[in-house]
Amino acid sequence: MKSEDLTRRFVEYFEDRGHRRITGSTLLPPPGDPVLFTTSGMHPLTPYLEGRPHPLGRRLVNAQRCLRTTDLDEVGDSTHLTVFEMLGTWSLGDYEGPVSLDWGYGLLTEGLGIDPGRLHATVFGGDGQTGPDTPSLEFWRSRGVPVELTVEDNWWSNGPTGPCGPDSEIFLWSGEGPPRSTPTGDQRWVEVWNHVMMRHRRLDDGTLRPLPQRNVDTGLGLERLATLLQGETSVYDSDVFEPWRRQLPALWTLDERDRRLVYDHLRSAVVVLGDGVRPGNTGRGYVLRRLLRRVLTVLVRDEPSRTLGDLPGEPVEHTLDHFRQDMDPGEVRRLLLDEERRFLRLLERGRRVLARPRFHGPLDEEDFHYLHDTHGLPRDLVESLRSTP
Ligand code: SER
């Protein structure tokens, strides 16, 4: 099943159950939001989870693109991407958690044909402030799905304060042979769908207050589930990366981790550009610049003649089409090349500065700060320049 079919099936399934689709899913949060990029499906819905009536009603469904840079160091493993899509559903003070879990279970098993024996759930076991999530536990027991109880892993919040609550996560076995162990005990259990009983608000002093309504907020990782449904174990082997996989290896020979980083960051850069962000030294523009610099660092480290000018058009067009962005691919290319020129100038400066005797020995934190603040040289670039002859 192609990822786009999965999105369609998901949305239709919930429309059949009274949900209305929210359109518009840019990476840029609504005006006034201090966060740079949308990091989860619920993010743009925060005011409605806090009680403001939503114009489309109490049951919503959406496909929301998200960008997370907190996971940058995990990019390159099999499941983490910087830009990914979250298929989400919301009950804004309408149905409760077990109904949501029941629909989730129904879509995965009957709707998408997943063997129930490959599922595992996790449920909040309770802490000093909040009791265990017994309704979720009872639901999974009634379906014969094994459950693991955890505390921190089953509490979801979007930051230190604001809406939060216990969650129940659904994992799918990705290994060969029969499932083993539990989600915290074996990484072959891949988290695909998180159902959050979003009914608390965390205040500045750390205490919890009930929200004005009892919500459910769910998020399913589109690329992860599509990968598993396509019989693969790495998101890079899913249809999302098909043109990248087909075209790039002939162009640049990279080891697996570098290849994944290049695919992920370049694709993310295209999406961020498509949502109207331009490279810069602050805020969103700086996130975009960092993504591109990480790509360029990898590319030119082994082979200085590599250039983004050689990037074929198809992966870029495929990405813009997938996210329904109407940016001209030629403009993307022009911006990538501008950024590359800027990076190469920085590299030149970096080499000159690092040739000074002061930087010949080991560098300490003060050196890294100085190189960054005075010469605009980020730490990963400095490390890369020092590790190459
Ligand atoms: N907010 C939850 C998450 O991001 C579910 O949507 O996982």
Q: Provide the pLDDT for residue 388.
A: 67
Measured distance CA(223)–CA(219) in Å, rounded: 12
Retrieve residue 368's tokens: 């890294």
Q: Provide the pLDDT for residue 385.
A: 84
Find the largest Cα–Cα distance for the chain: 70
Give the Å distance between the CA of 195 and the centre of ligand 1.
7
Give the Å distance between the CA of 161 and the centre of ligand 1.
15
Q: Provide the pLDDT for residue 279.
A: 97
* Residue among 133, 141, 145 at smallest CA distance from 195: 133
Write down the domain spans for the chain. Answer: 3-234, 238-387
**Ligand 1 close to Cβ of residue 192 (< 6 A):** no
Segment 283-314, tens digit of pLDDT: 999 999 999 998 998 998 888 899 999 999 99
Retrieve residue 302's tokens: 């082994």
Atom of ligand 1 nearest to the CA of 40: 4
Q: Provide the pLDDT for residue 23.
A: 85
Cβ-based neighbours of 327, under 8 Å, separated by 6 or more: 273, 274, 320
Measured distance CA(349)–CA(347) in Å, rounded: 5
| Number of CB atoms found within 10 A of residue 172's CB | 21
Distance from the first to the final alpha carbon of the chain:
47
Atom of ligand 1 nearest to the CA of 219: 6
Segment 375-386, tens digit of pLDDT: 888 887 888 888
Q: Which amino acid is at 307?
A: T
For the chain, which ranges sit under pLDDT 70? 71-74, 388-389
Rounded to the nearest 10 degrees, the angle between the axes of helix 329-354 and helix 365-375 is 130
**Nearest CA owner, ligand 1 atom 4:** 40
**Ligand 1 close to Cβ of residue 88 (< 6 A):** yes
Kindly report the CATH number that applies to the domain delimited by 3-234: 3.30.930.10
Q: Provide the pLDDT for residue 220.
A: 98
